[in-house]
Amino acid sequence: MGHFLSRFKAAGLHELLGIEPSLAAARLGKEVHGLEIRTGTVDAFTPAQPFGLVTLCGVLEHIADLKASVRRIADLIEEGGHLFIAVPDAVAFGASPPAEAFLEFALEHINFFSATSLDNLLCAMGFEKLDVISQHNDFYDNHYLLALYRKTSRASESFRADGESADSLRSYVNLSRQTLRPVEELAAQLEESAEPLLIWGAGSLTSRLLCDTRLGNANIRGIIDRNKNLQGKPLLGVTISAPESVMDHQGATIFIASTTYAEEIRNTLIRQYGWAGRIVSLAPGVTEYR
């Protein structure tokens, strides 16, 4: 939404341009940061001249055809220009128990990178690595790779096996399964009680819990999500509704299917909707709010 690009503006740079597929995000970047942000994708973008620096923050993990996209991005950069990349660090996934099980396996994340696999991809496209670090992200309690590459006229044919990432991903799966054990117990309780249940959150975690635990057998009366693109669509035969629909289910139990936003959702329920019923959560150390 323009935050990273705004740091360059604050540093005194003025020839700045952002590309953003989301019309709403592009508009927000313009309004908040006063930036020129065009709505579209890199594939359809044709600049008047190449750039000295292109940044891809949280982009490569979403792209299906990586080689074609990196070739296109390379065409946008002048010879000797730079490419900055920020992606989740797959090597760090399995280092410690996750705050939320399988959070790194968000449905929209289809690629996972280490410093080795980034090199394999980019050096084969004519880039050379200048520096890479793994930095902790406080908000999601995970690590991101921050990498800087320079465009050259030489493509490397070397390829290194990435066993470290494979080991980390296996460890992450095992740790996530361990993290889910208390959730499995809670799901079993909700099924056995047959109490009317609303699930807040229709993301990948909810989909996984509905399939992998007994939550899918509970007395689910509705699924709530703030994402308007999801509202009206079915999930396990239940239509996803807007938050206001909680008012139609007084007396139900609300299950907050999130750890990162659990407290924010709880506050919304109580302060905005005056919810007085039972709320259960996945937040660490918290099973039931009331």
Give the pTM: 0.80
pLDDT, average across residues 180-204 = 93
Backbone angles phi, psi at 120, to 5 degrees: -55, -40
Nearest to 207 by CA among 170, 238, 231: 238
Domains and CATH numbers, the chain: 41-173 (3.40.50.150), 194-281 (3.40.50.720)
- Which tens digit of pLDDT belongs to each residue from 71-81? 999 999 999 99
Taken as a whole, the chain contains a residue count of 290
Which residues pair with residue 18 across a beta bridge? Answer: 37
Distance CA(42)–CA(113), nearest Å, equals 21
pLDDT in tens, 278-288: 999 886 554 55
Give pLDDT, residue 40.
85
Q: Provide the CA 226 distance to its chain's centre, in angstroms.
A: 16
Q: What is the pLDDT of residues 105-159, one digit of tens each?
A: 988 899 999 999 999 999 999 999 999 999 998 877 889 999 999 999 999 888 9
DSSP string, 169-233: HHHHHHHHHHHHHHHHHHHHHHHHH---EEEE--SHHHHHHHHHSGGGGS-EEEEE-S-TTTTT-
pLDDT at 242 over 70: yes
